[in-house]
Amino acid sequence: MSRTTATTDRASILIVDDLEDNLVALEAVLASLDEPLVRARSGEEAVRALLREPFALILLDVRMPGMDGFETAYRIKRLDRAKDIPIIFLNGPESDSGYAFRGYATGAADFLTKPFDPWMLRAKVSVFLDLHRKNRQLERLLAREQEHLGEITDRLAAIEDELRGGAPAGLDSVGKQLSRIEETLDELRRGRGQ
């Protein structure tokens, strides 16, 4: 992977918890993933962070003063730029069974109870980061395909213009245009094999 690709595939993770000890623990568990970690100590702060920058994943504490995790998730899912970001809810052991259901109902991708297994959390986060990277790669591939499609459309339009204009060397020109289109199609085929 090139250095540029590696840089563009960096995936920031938003960690939201009102307790400093919990933020420090999350940072320690996720440090080995070598991805940017951004802290938020409240739901309001999390929403502001999402308005400033994109994230691959959100780890969200359920029980926070003021806006709790459920309300925070509800607000996040209403933001166009953040509505598709997966949320993993984190909640203390004293939660009732309805918390997980409520978490999934507000758009959670997963729900973990504290104290969580560090290996399990890291594995789950890794899966979501891989999914994020694959989505970015797919977006780049689709953009490249759209660009090539635009080139083909432009070449076909040029051929139509020449045929309508009755250019003296119409057939030679059409043959050259068709050769260029075939070359572009060959490039597209080779690009898909990469």
Same domain, residue pair 105 and 21:
yes
Same domain, residue pair 147 and 185:
yes
Query: How do residues 160-188 score in pLDDT, each as one tens digit?
Result: 776 666 555 555 666 677 777 778 777 77
- What angle, rounded to 10 degrees, do the helices at 118-165 and 170-192 form? 170
The verdict on whether omega for the bond into residue 118 sits within 30 degrees of 0, i.e. cis, is: no
CA–chain centroid gap for 130, Å, is: 10
Structure tokens at 47: 């929403």
Domain endpoint, select from 97, 120, 136: 136
- What angle, rounded to 10 degrees, do the helices at 118-165 and 20-30 form? 70
Domain endpoint, select from 112, 136, 160: 136
Decide: 170 and 163 in contact? Cβ < 8 Å. Answer: yes
Q: Which residues contact 25 (CB under 8 A, 6 or more apart)?
A: none
Per-residue pLDDT at 121? 94
Of the pLDDT bands very low, low, confident and very high (cuts 50, 70, 90), residue 114 is: confident
Number of domains in the chain: 2
Give the Cα separation of 104 and 99 in Å (integer): 9
CA–chain centroid gap for 191, Å, is: 23
CA–chain centroid gap for 60, Å, is: 18
Same domain, residue pair 42 and 105:
yes
Query: How do residues 121-157 score in pLDDT, each as one tens digit?
Result: 999 999 999 999 888 888 888 888 888 777 777 777 7
Same domain, residue pair 92 and 170:
no
Same domain, residue pair 61 and 115:
yes
Q: Which residues contact 121 (CB under 8 A, 6 or more apart)?
A: 29, 30, 88, 112
Give the Cα separation of 165 and 49 in Å (integer): 57
Give the Cα separation of 151 and 149 in Å (integer): 5
Query: How do residues 78-91 score in pLDDT, each as one tens digit?
Result: 998 888 999 999 98
Same domain, residue pair 49 and 143:
no
Domain of 86, CATH number, reads: 3.40.50.2300
Q: What is the pTM of this model?
A: 0.70
Residue type, 8: T
Domain endpoint, select from 98, 118, 136: 136
Average pLDDT, the chain: 82
Residue 109 lies in domain:
3-136
